[in-house]
């Protein structure tokens, strides 16, 4: 059975917690006429929403924050966080308001949140709004990550209006309807720990375990078990990021999900040419969140999370749990990269092949995504590398030497070509959300209210491993003008 807006079962377990956890605040209506910019039918399926609801005149009004959804809670969550290494005691949902949560017929729980719906008590000096540019970026990337099989928040729709929003320049307002099983962050626990409100901290921990980790309730120490599980999920998540060249850009503890989801898409980016020191966030002047720093920052953030649990677990237990992060991450990353090269299991010889390849890719500024996708077509009994592969390297002699060793390894350690190539194409995407592609969609939307490019990108990004021969140009490396694109914390 598909739901309408009137029959959508809405509750909010988080709103039943004490008022210290959130503030009740209604969305601020937009002044100009609202319009639907894009609707994601795949996300609507999560809520069991009838796609025909977009025809309803109230759809835009509800998901712009102009009209209340029946039984909505309308709360903004409070949290703290370490931002660029410095603790900020109060942050919170400065431009996001939760409507409530719904549970679908499969038992999946989804919180519904309006991002960009106006000021809240946590807005500080902000206006509580989001701009069309940043909203399109988050909408596209959350679906791109889901298409890649990486845990993430989802997005139901974008609505917008001609309301003016002031950033570096005047832009127009938009509202993103974001979905997640939970929006609780590491910073949510820090919020109470650093206020010495350990009773409330315990209540939040019990809530998280009851709602999202019920299998941990019978553990000898459920809080320690929770830490261990979050460490596992975070290690795997960041290994997945690294394996596709994804750079988050602002890995503050308030942007780290207690469920191990990719959360808060601001100044993100995917690697074009392989550069381990790539910094996607122009606000990150010291490279704290560079691509090659993400695994270590993951551990740093988990240490901040472990700190909040010290009222309930021993320091020794916390350290032992944190010590598991590095081997968990390295195992997951090495296995993913071995699979990307076409091998079922990682070993030292494959590690040597990978290290050599990445070194050459860095020196030759080889496109990360296209190189691994091209390797999917290698035939292990053909000793001539594909011309398209050789053309990715300036130093072709060094590449030929590597290719000879790679082909020899395929002959002894990999499946026959047909099976291996198919498996490689299921882990090496052909399409990623390159910044220039997102920018092209943004410019069409801003200048002409033309949302067709969003349609095209959603089609590709929700199935990034398929060939899509009619969209071959979307797999190309960025044009020269893409170097002028700058994304920052305001993105």
Element (H, E) at 114: strand 109-115
**pLDDT confidence tier of residue 106, bands split at 50, 70 and 90:** confident
Instruction: Tell whether the model's pLDDT for residue 17 goes beyond 80.
Output: yes
Instruction: Tell whether the model's pLDDT for residue 163 goes beyond 70.
Output: yes
Reported pTM: 0.97
Sequence-separated (6 or more) residues with CB below 8 Å from residue 317:
221, 224
Instruction: Tell whether the model's pLDDT for residue 491 goes beyond 60.
Output: no
Tokens found for residue 108: 């999946």
The residues annotated as belonging to the active site are 254
Q: Which range has the worst mean pLDDT, 23-32, 232-241, 378-387?
A: 378-387
Give mean pLDDT, residues 322-327: 98
Sequence-separated (6 or more) residues with CB below 8 Å from residue 367:
272, 273, 274, 392, 477
pLDDT at residue 5, as a whole number: 87
Instruction: Tell whether the model's pLDDT for residue 14 goes beyond 80.
Output: yes
Sequence-separated (6 or more) residues with CB below 8 Å from residue 244:
148, 150, 270, 369, 429, 432
Give mean pLDDT, residues 411-435: 97
Tokens found for residue 414: 């990999």
Whole-number Å distance between alpha carbons of 36 and 174: 10
Half-sphere exposure of 163 (CA within 13 A, CB side): 26
**DSSP 8-state symbol, 474:** G
pLDDT at residue 158, as a whole number: 98
What is the three-state SS of 342-364? CCCCCCHHHHHHHHHHHHHHHHH
Q: Which range has the worst mean pLDDT, 59-63, 70-74, 179-183, 266-270?
A: 70-74
Whole-number Å distance between alpha carbons of 141 and 174: 16
The predicted-structure confidence for 139-155, as pLDDT tens digits, reads as follows: 999 999 999 999 999 99
Identify the residue whose tokens are 């050459």: 360
**pLDDT confidence tier of residue 383, bands split at 50, 70 and 90:** confident
pLDDT at residue 319, as a whole number: 98
Closest alpha carbon to 80 in 181, 178, 193: 193
Phi-psi region of 475 (alpha: psi -120 to 50; beta: other; left: phi over 0): alpha
pLDDT at residue 340, as a whole number: 98
Instruction: Tell whether the model's pLDDT for residue 377 goes beyond 80.
Output: yes
Q: Which range has the worst mean pLDDT, 9-13, 344-348, 390-394?
A: 9-13
The predicted-structure confidence for 178-212, as pLDDT tens digits, reads as follows: 999 999 999 999 999 999 999 999 999 999 999 99
pLDDT at residue 488, as a whole number: 67
Decide if 42 contacts 143 (C-beta within 8 A): yes
Residue 127 has a CB neighbour count (10 Å cut-off) of 16
Whole-number Å distance between alpha carbons of 191 and 212: 20
Decide if 153 contacts 262 (C-beta within 8 A): yes
Identify the residue whose tokens are 């080889």: 366
Sequence-separated (6 or more) residues with CB below 8 Å from residue 35:
60, 159, 160, 161, 449
Whole-number Å distance between alpha carbons of 37 and 172: 12
Residue-level length of the chain = 491
pLDDT at residue 382, as a whole number: 83
Identify the residue whose tokens are 């350690």: 413
Element (H, E) at 201: helix 198-212
Q: Which range has the worst mean pLDDT, 69-73, 324-328, 452-456?
A: 69-73
Tokens found for residue 313: 């677990």
Instruction: Tell whether the model's pLDDT for residue 345 goes beyond 90.
Output: yes
Average pLDDT over the chain, rounded to an integer? 95
What Cα–Cα distance (Å) separates residue 282 from each residue in 49, 73, 79, 279, 477?
A: 39, 36, 25, 7, 21
Instruction: Tell whether the model's pLDDT for residue 385 goes beyond 80.
Output: no
The predicted-structure confidence for 436-465, as pLDDT tens digits, reads as follows: 999 999 999 999 899 999 999 999 999 999
pLDDT at residue 490, as a whole number: 62
pLDDT at residue 104, as a whole number: 82
Identify the residue whose tokens are 């609801």: 53
pLDDT at residue 125, as a whole number: 86
What percentage of the chain carries pLDDT values higher than 90? 90
Chain centre to alpha carbon of residue 271: 15
pLDDT at residue 326, as a whole number: 98
């Amino acid at each position: 059975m598909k739901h309408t807006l009137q029959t959508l079962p809405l509750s909010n377990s988080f709103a039943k917690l004490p008022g210290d956890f959130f503030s009740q605040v209604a969305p601020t209506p937009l002044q100009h006429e609202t319009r639907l910019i894009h609707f994601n039918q795949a996300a609507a399926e999560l809520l069991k929403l009838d796609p025909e609801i977009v025809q309803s005149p109230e759809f835009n009004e509800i998901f712009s924050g102009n009209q209340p959804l029946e039984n909505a809670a309308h709360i903004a969550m409070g949290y703290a966080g370490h931002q660029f290494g410095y603790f900020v005691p109060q942050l919170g949902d400065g431009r996001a308001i939760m409507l409530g949560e719904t549970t679908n017929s499969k038992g999946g729980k989804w919180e519904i949140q309006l991002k960009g719906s106006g000021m809240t008590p946590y807005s500080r000096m902000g206006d509580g709004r989001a701009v069309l540019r940043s909203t399109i970026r988050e909408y596209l990337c959350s679906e791109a990550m889901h298409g890649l099989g990486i845990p993430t928040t989802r997005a139901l729709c974008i609505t917008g209006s001609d309301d003016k929003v002031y950033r570096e320049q005047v832009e127009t307002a938009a509202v993103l309807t974001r979905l997640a099983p939970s929006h609780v962050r590491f910073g949510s626990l820090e919020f109470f720990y650093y206020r010495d409100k350990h009773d409330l901290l315990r209540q939040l921990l019990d809530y998280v375990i009851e709602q999202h980790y019920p299998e941990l309730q019978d553990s000898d120490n459920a809080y320690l078990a929770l830490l261990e599980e979050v460490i596992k999920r975070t290690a795997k998540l960041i290994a997945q990021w690294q394996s596709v060249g994804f750079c988050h850009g602002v890995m503050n503890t308030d942007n780290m999900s207690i469920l191990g989801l990719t959360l808060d898409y601001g100044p993100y980016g995917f690697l074009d040419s392989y550069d381990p020191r790539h910094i996607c966030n122009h606000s990150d002047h010291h490279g704290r969140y560079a691509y090659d720093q993400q695994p270590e920052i993951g551990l740093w953030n988990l240490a901040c999370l472990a700190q909040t649990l010290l009222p309930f677990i021993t320091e020794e237990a916390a350290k032992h749990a944190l010590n598991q992060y590095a081997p968990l991450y390295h195992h997951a990353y090495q296995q993913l990269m071995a699979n990307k090269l076409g091998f079922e299991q990682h070993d030292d010889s494959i590690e040597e092949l990978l290290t050599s390849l990445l070194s050459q890719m860095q020196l030759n500024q080889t496109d990360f995504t296209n190189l691994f996708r091209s390797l999917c077509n290698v035939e292990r009994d053909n000793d001539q590398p594909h011309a398209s592969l050789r053309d990715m390297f300036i130093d072709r002699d060094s590449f030929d030497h590597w290719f000879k060793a790679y082909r020899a390894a395929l002959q002894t350690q990999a499946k026959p070509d047909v099976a291996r190539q198919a498996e490689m194409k299921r882990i090496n995407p052909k399409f990623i959300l390159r910044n220039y592609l997102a920018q092209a969609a943004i410019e069409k939307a801003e200048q002409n209210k033309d949302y067709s490019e969003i349609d095209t990108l959603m089609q590709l990004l929700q199935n990034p491993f398929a060939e899509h021969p009619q969209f071959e140009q979307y797999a190309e490396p960025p044009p020269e003008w893409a170097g002028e694109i700058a994304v920052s914390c305001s993105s």
